[in-house]
Structure 1
């Protein structure tokens, strides 16, 4: 089985005193060869996923992704199920998981993973490619491991 060891550059960013979440997201996107991503943290008082960092999201979509209810869209469903949600091609999805505005990102291969540590939800991380793509089990496991490490820094 392939390793789910967090790449050193991401680990280094997560060991800094004041973590730059946009840099963590950028390094994660680079590792997975993705162009677009989001990092949402759960606000326990509102139960909304609040945007902490994003890369590649068009400005006109930022109001729609800044606060996401649990159960809505890929990030919200990943949070609700506490399991990753993947789409090979978001542009052709008709499952209802992806919100209509998500297609405006022009991404195709997409993966949203919950940020989980000790069965507690801290938020979600989403990554996407501009081409159809099926993420491997190893890639999904690694994104979950990165998410768990993010949670440990938040707790």
Structure 2
């Protein structure tokens, strides 16, 4: 079984932790908010050959923030990274977000029911789900995904 397939399967599991698949600490959140996805762009799906299936991969999602429940965000519209299989349903929902080293956020795939709590003060940011941590490179990956697959907008 391909290592990429194993990573994709791990990410698809709601009980899998991003530390396991991504090497990034994400057992806490920095911001909890209510928001609606308004734009969704898949990153380019890597070619892993003919012997694997990729079930989930990083997506760029813009959220329209309705209300911040815990933590702070500067804007009413924010860009985040998620790991998903296809476009999400467009409705308000609760989001747990982890600050990444790019200054953006990774969406956590867990809820408070999974025991996820707010990160203690001074917790360093995690790595983004895709890219090297360079915001310019991350923007280029978003644009490449948009050019290849388009966007699912409002």
TM-score, normalized by length of structure 2? Answer: 0.30
Q: Name which structure has the greater RCO, CA cutoff 8 Å, separation 6+.
A: 2
TM-score, normalized by length of structure 1? Answer: 0.30
Q: Structure 1 or 2: larger strand share?
A: 2
